[in-house]
Amino acid sequence: MTIQLAIENLTKLYPTGEGVRNIDINVRQGEMVTLLGPSGCGKTTVLRSVGGFVDPSGGDIKITNQSVLHLPPEKRPTAMVFQSYNLWPHMTIYDNLAFSLKIRKKRKEEIKQKVSWALDLVRLPGVEKKYPAELSGGQQQRVALARALLLEPKLLLLDEPFSALDAKLRHELREELREIQARQQLTMLFVTHDQEEALSISDRIVVMNAGEIEQIGTPKEIYDQPSSLFVAEFIGKMNFLSGLAEGSHVKIGSLQFPTIEQLYGPITACVRPEDIVLAGAEGIEAKIDKIMMLGHYAEATLHTLFGKVKMFIGREEMERLQLHDSIKIQFSKIHVFKGTKIHNHTREEIVC
Amino acid sequence: MWYIKSVKKGKIIEFVILILFCIFFLGPLLNLLLLAFSGKWQYPAKLPSSWSLEWWSFVLSDDEVLHSILLSFVIAIVVTLVSIIICIPAAYAFARIQFPLRRMFLFSFLLTNAFPKMGLYVSIGVLFYQFDLMNTFIGIVLIHIINTLMFMTWIPSAAFKNVHKAQEESAQDAGASPFRVFWHITLPMAAPGIVVASIFTFLSSLDEAQGTLLVGIPDFKTMPVIMYSIIADYPSTAGAVFSIILTLPTIILLLAARRFVGADALASGFNMK
């Protein structure tokens, strides 16, 4: 696979001291890579640097092995879809889409044919004569996508394109985008703060925090083997338990777990709710505090010696468990990180 | 009657206020209209006792009057064009560029409206004498522009600000050079605000009397200046005829531009940001 986009040692510092440092990302041809992180983590800065709207302070950006750093946005082989305000309200959809083609001096029949091709692709045939204000938010984003596709970019940049839409529409467009991407063999760099979105559509995810890359990996890698406490906290649901590491094992309260990391001192152990399972007599004492029905599974909040933990219960078990029941649980898998949890926000807060 | 019937009960007070409002605004205009076409109209009579176009033919056959109408329009057009050339780039800069003391500069446009006009004009007059601008066309245009700077900068500036950065950026992304982006995206999107401001500029130049009187006398007599002397020297009918001539362009322009002229376009123009 050839490398379509190479970001090498990119640095951009703003006068306020914020910015991004030492960013290295490679995107292969036909790949969809997501930049994921909380707001202010610098993901948009990276994306806009690639698009040419931000001047990096250092590093290089290569598209198909050619540096594009000296090129203004209009000369770069990229196309960008913004979060909102993509379309020009004084032009019809046709004119919006034909804008770039007219600049490139295409013949009229060709423009016509390409515009209707692009609208077919985003499943909006026949809206050429309408004005953007006559379309819904989701339709406008589709048109914006169509316009970006008409640029025939070597790299498509998407800056939280669906975050202004409601949940259902977001899911729909996500799927469609993935389909179009696969069909057109598009290379994409996608920015989002929504970890669910990132997990569901990416080939690989770049998790960013405070201007630096925390982890790069496939959605599965990021979910199953978070490389830092931040990633563990940001991706998916997670329980945090504080404990003490003593070389070959960690102690969480009275429990002992073997580790291979050889850590010493205070640690945080992370357990996914699905990795908490019902156990026999030797398990940990827990009391069911709350059960939230979430469709094909339920989320139970348990009171234990280590504080509150959340676990998922499947359909069959749901029948057997009652509120305020005492049960025994055990952890089938834990992740151990050095230090204590600093960020105190829950995942829900980050998503909003 | 159907109208009164269609008014709901609770709305009676609103309806009465509306009527009062109409009388208050349209009454004088109606009176003016009657007066302009009247031949004889003595006090107790509710309507003119005879109708005539006598004063219309007087006003419209007077060379000086005709010349003043022409001059007024020429000045208003020149003032509008010059204001656009000066103020649109300034408005764009205020909207898009963060420079030091930006707010202070924007606010300074209000200053000319903060002082009594006549005092301002007299001190400007002193300067104009030194630069030989008294009794010149350029002098009049300059003094009109002083009044129009504020509209012409504030309103288009707000209009430019309403064009989102992403809209300009996506045009650039589509391959348009910065000039093309401005010409095809930013300017057309800000056009309603610019049209509104231009209409105000045109009308305020057409109605400007004080400054013109001071700077343009004796050679440059515009419509409002002539009107002063007509009202003083002739019966009120002549003044009425003249007022209508002076009001017509306002009404025609506002009707033509009512698509653009909205409270929001104005309100956003007077937002200090």
Question: What is the ipTM for the molecules in this complex?
Answer: 0.80
Whether the predicted pLDDT of B273 surpasses 50: no
B172 in reach of chain A (CB within 8 A): yes
Out of A78-92, B35-49, B174-188, which region has the weakest mean confidence (pLDDT)? B35-49
Share of chain A above pLDDT 70, in %: 96
Please list every residue in chain A whose beta carbon sits closer than 8 Å to the beta carbon of residue B175. 74-75, 100, 103-104, 151
Write down the H helix ranges in chain A.
Answer: 43-51, 93-103, 108-121, 137-150, 167-184, 195-201, 219-224, 229-234, 315-320, 347-351
Please list every residue in chain B whose beta carbon sits closer than 8 Å to the beta carbon of residue A158. none
Whether the predicted pLDDT of B2 surpasses 80: no
Which of A87, A181, A193 is CA-nearest to residue A136? A87
Beta-carbon separation of B176 and A78 below 8 A: no
Cα–Cα distance for residue pair B263/A252, rounded to 1 Å: 66
Which residue type occupies B103? R
Determine how many CB atoms are found less than 10 A away from the CB of residue A317. Answer: 16
Whether the predicted pLDDT of A305 surpasses 50: yes
Question: Contact at 8 Å (CB) between A327 and A288?
Answer: yes
Out of A13-27, A88-102, B111-125, B153-167, which region has the weakest mean confidence (pLDDT)? B111-125
Confidence of residue A349 (pLDDT cuts 50, 70, 90): very low
pLDDT given at position B37? 83
> Which of A53, A89, A99 comes nearest B189 by C-beta?
A89
Helix, strand, coil distribution of chain A in percent, nearest 5: 30, 35, 35
A144 in reach of chain B (CB within 8 A): yes
pLDDT given at position A100? 92
B183 in reach of chain A (CB within 8 A): no
Higher pLDDT: B20 or A340? It is: B20
Cα–Cα distance for residue pair B227/B69, rounded to 1 Å: 11
pLDDT given at position A345? 42
DSSP string for A224-268 = HS-SSHHHHHHSS--EEEEEEEEEEEEEETTEEEEEEEEEEEEEE
Confidence of residue B9 (pLDDT cuts 50, 70, 90): low
| Residue in B closest to A83 by C-alpha | B166
Question: Contact at 8 Å (CB) between A156 and A189?
Answer: yes
Residues forming a β-bridge with A313: A298
**Residues B53-107: tens digit of each pLDDT:** 887 887 778 888 888 888 999 999 999 999 999 999 999 999 988 888 888 888 8
- In angstroms, how far is CA B235 from the centroid of its own chain? 27
Please list every residue in chain A whose beta carbon sits closer than 8 Å to the beta carbon of residue B177. 74
**Reading across the β-sheet that carries A276-278, which strands appear in turn?**
A276-278, A326-331, A284-293, A298-304, A307-313
Beta-carbon separation of A103 and B174 below 8 A: yes
Whether the predicted pLDDT of A91 surpasses 60: yes
Question: Contact at 8 Å (CB) between B190 and B255?
Answer: no
> Which of A72, A99, A148 comes nearest B171 by C-beta?
A99
Confidence of residue A320 (pLDDT cuts 50, 70, 90): confident
**Which tokens go with A295?**
């469709």
B108 in reach of chain A (CB within 8 A): no
Report CA-CA distances (Å) from A2 to A37, A63, A64: 27, 11, 8
pLDDT given at position B260? 64
Determine how many CB atoms are found less than 10 A away from the CB of residue B259. Answer: 9
pLDDT given at position A102? 92
| Residue in B closest to A84 by C-alpha | B166
Whether the predicted pLDDT of A350 surpasses 50: no
Q: How far is B184 from chain A (nearest CA, A)?
A: 9
Whether the predicted pLDDT of B127 surpasses 80: yes
Higher pLDDT: A259 or A202? It is: A202
Beta-carbon separation of A151 and B175 below 8 A: yes
Mean pLDDT of A47-74: 92
Cα–Cα distance for residue pair A336/A271, rounded to 1 Å: 9
| Residue in A closest to B192 by C-alpha | A90
* 3-state SS track over B6-58: HCCHHHHHHHHHHHHHHHHHHHHHHHHHHHHCEEECCCCCCCCCEECCHHHHH
Phi, psi of A326 (to 5 degrees): -100, 130
Question: Contact at 8 Å (CB) between B241 and B90?
Answer: no
Whether the predicted pLDDT of A344 surpasses 50: no
Beta-carbon separation of B176 and A99 below 8 A: yes
**Residues B204-263: tens digit of each pLDDT:** 898 888 888 888 878 888 888 888 887 788 877 888 888 888 788 778 887 877 766 655
Higher pLDDT: B201 or A352? It is: B201
Indicate which of A78, A92, A97, A99 best probes the interface with B, i.e. most B CBs within 10 Å of its own CB.
A99
**Reading across the β-sheet that carries A239-252, which strands appear in turn?**
A239-252, A255-271, A335-338
Out of A232-236, A340-344, B19-23, which region has the weakest mean confidence (pLDDT)? A340-344
Which of A332, A48, A59, A8 is CA-nearest to residue A189? A48
pLDDT given at position B66? 83
**Residues A70-86: tens digit of each pLDDT:** 999 999 999 999 998 88
Mean pLDDT of B22-49: 80
pLDDT given at position B270? 57
Confidence of residue A203 (pLDDT cuts 50, 70, 90): very high
Mean pLDDT of A182-196: 92
What domains does chain B contain, in order, with CATH numbers? 53-268 (1.10.3720.10)
Whether the predicted pLDDT of B177 surpasses 60: yes
